[in-house]
Amino acid sequence: MNDKDSVYRVMVRMRIHPGMERDFEKTWREIAATIARHPANVGQSLAKSPDEDGVYYIVSEWENEEKFRQFEHSPEHAANRMRLDPFRDSAGTSMIPMLVASRLGSQPSPGRVRVALYLNEPESDKGSVESAYHQISTTLAGRPGLRGNELLRSLRDPRRFAVLSEWDDVPTYREWERSPEHLPTTSPLARYHDKGLGIFGSYEVVAAY
């Protein structure tokens, strides 16, 4: 991906208080509708974990980091945070800013599943994660149910990466996860798993703008 095509992506992980999930999703949709009108915002999605109760990922994309930072320090953003604060567990909230390094597939839509794989590349092995990513993606091309995947590089630490893949639905992803070819196909990235971040998480998209 050329620099001019790069997108600044922010992923926020939130754990929502039990029983407040539906109201949280409704509030997020209202907030997302206003953010979508911001000229620097490229897109947003809300994904819910099928494995961890109350865990969500909010993903937003921006033209560049400077424009996101301007929004981040705006009164509008402060007001949005105040609206979301009653729903979330502050100890279960984290933010990961990233620059999209490679993109395949289409835009997300509600009902699909996103899987985030966290990776850590050794300083002595630069370029190995991207090479392994392309190797696996070539093998997976045409896989039924796979909508696309992306390789993301952390802007805080260029040795840290995430691979986001998108699937038609939960049953389709589970079928792939349990298939005999799953581990052999993805093995080129296995040695880079970032165990400090829990290796990976799977999330169902509940809304997208």
- DSSP class of residue 18 equals T
Q: Is the pLDDT of residue 186 over 70?
A: yes
- At 1, the pLDDT band (50, 70, 90 cuts) reads very low
CA-CA-CA-CA dihedral for 28, 102, 170, 93, to nearest 10: -40
- DSSP secondary structure of 83-104: HHGGGEEEEEEEEEEEEEEEE-
58-95 pLDDT, tens digit per residue, is 988 898 888 899 999 998 999 998 999 999 988 778 88
The residue that leads in pLDDT, 208 or 126, is: 126
Task: Tell me what pLDDT residue 18 has.
Answer: 92
DSSP alpha helices (H): ranges in 73-195?
75-84, 128-140, 170-177, 182-186
**Sign of the CA dihedral 199, 196, 47, 109?**
negative
Structure tokens belonging to residue 17: 């208080």
96-139 pLDDT, tens digit per residue, is 777 766 555 445 455 678 888 888 888 888 889 989 998 898 88
Task: Tell me what pLDDT residue 116 has.
Answer: 83
Task: Tell me what pLDDT residue 207 has.
Answer: 58
Task: Tell me what pLDDT residue 33 has.
Answer: 87
- At 200, the pLDDT band (50, 70, 90 cuts) reads low
150-176 pLDDT, tens digit per residue, is 888 888 888 888 888 888 888 888 888
The residue that leads in pLDDT, 3 or 50, is: 50
Task: Tell me what pLDDT residue 148 has.
Answer: 84
Cα–Cα distance, 196 to 110 (Å, whole number): 29
